[in-house]
Amino acid sequence: MNFARLLKLIPFYTSLCASLASAQLAFCRPATAVCKDDPIQVVSDTPADNYARLFLTSERVIEATVHFECDGMDNAVPSEPLPRNFMITKAYENYEFLRISQYDPAKPWHWGPYRYHVQIGLPSRSQTIDYIYALPYAAEKHFTVSQSYRSKYTHLAGTPDEYAVDIMMPEGTPVLAARPGTVIACRADGDMGGAGQKYSECANYVHVKHDDGTYGAYVHLKRNGVTVKPGQSVGVGTQLGLSGATGWVTCPHLHFMVYRLNSSLRAQSFPFKVRTASGIVQQLEEGETY
């Protein structure tokens, strides 16, 4: 970002932060903090002495990849080879996805602990470089971009956020779908935000799957500010929620990116074109207002 753009951005940024200072303080109250993002729940039971069952529930995500591992297999054998990648393609409620059984009935057996990691989306090589996205807010509003592609702050080259954009907007601004699709994941119970990576799992969000298998992520939404649900179809301009300052933030803004999962189950963002009031742009530039 050049010096002229920095000068344009600083007054906006300072004014917005000052006007919301009291709200920012409220985000950091640890007594009410809901931070860890766990879009699925895994529980186990042991209905008999010789086997255990593991169940999965996914109420707020209908498309995701779960990497599951289990340590300490002593005289125990799983029903599926571990570690295992489990593909979520719908909402599950107490779905038995794994059974662990005693191998030799004459010997003691033990298993666990287990751990899992959830990545929203399914692996794909698809991307559409020619699709023209709408701005993710009402046409009559104008907001400034505080971070764009490959910034020196949090959108670093080689990271999942490499081609993300941050758009400064007051808390409570309606966030609109920039492309048609289906809501595959959302979160609305996060109530904490602040500067630093320790807040990275605190954000509220909506993820929308597009018709080419790519995804749009709308992040840092207000607590209880999500207005859609998994499985819902949305069109351009459909309200997804309200902007906020949950997660890794310094001020209220919307973090938007288009991504897919690569073969390593890692989110990979890529550039996207946007239709603005002044025409189609290849990139939303830092310091510019649209």
Q: Are residues 49 and 67 in the same domain?
A: yes
Domain that holds residue 99: 41-120
Structure tokens that stand for 56 in this block: 């999965």
End-to-end CA distance of the chain: 16
Q: Where are the alpha helices (DSSP H) in 99-177?
A: none
Q: Are residues 48 and 63 in the same domain?
A: yes
Strand order in the sheet with 279-281: 132-134, 273-276, 279-281
Q: Are residues 91 and 176 in the same domain?
A: no
- Cβ–Cβ contacts within 10 Å for residue 79, how many? 15
According to the model, what pLDDT value does residue 34 have? Answer: 62
pLDDT tens digits, one per residue of 126-143: 767 789 999 999 999 999
Cβ–Cβ < 8 Å for 238, 232:
no
Buried b (16+ CB within 10 A) or exposed e, 223-238: bebbbbebebebeebb
In a domain, 290, yes or no: no
Instruction: Please state, in angstroms and rounded to a whole number, the distance separating the CA atoms of residues 31 and 177.
Output: 33
Give which of 162, 144, 150 is closest to 253, Cα–Cα.
144
Q: Are residues 147 and 252 in the same domain?
A: yes
Q: Are residues 86 and 113 in the same domain?
A: yes
Strand order in the sheet with 64-70: 84-88, 64-70, 114-120
Number of folded domains that form the chain: 2
Cβ–Cβ < 8 Å for 199, 249:
yes
List average pLDDT for each run of 10 residues in the chain, which is 290 residues long.
46 39 33 72 94 96 96 94 94 96 96 94 82 97 96 89 97 98 96 89 96 96 97 98 95 96 90 96 96
Strand order in the sheet with 41-48: 41-48, 51-57, 95-102, 76-78
According to the model, what pLDDT value does residue 21 have? Answer: 32
Q: Are residues 137 and 196 in the same domain?
A: yes
If 0-12 CB within 10 Å is exposed, 13-18 middle and 19+ buried, where does residue 75 land? middle
pTM of the model: 0.86
Q: What is the CATH number of the domain that holds 201?
A: 2.70.70.10
Identify the DSSP state of 31: G
Structure tokens that stand for 217 in this block: 């992520």
Buried b (16+ CB within 10 A) or exposed e, 12-49: ebeebeeebeebbeebeeeeebebebebbebeeeeeee
Q: Are residues 20 and 155 in the same domain?
A: yes
Mean pLDDT estimate for the chain: 88
The domain boundary, picked from 120, 142, 172, lies at: 120
Q: Are residues 189 and 171 in the same domain?
A: yes
Instruction: Please state, in angstroms and rounded to a whole number, the distance separating the CA atoms of residues 173 and 102.
Output: 55
- Cβ–Cβ contacts within 10 Å for residue 201, how many? 15
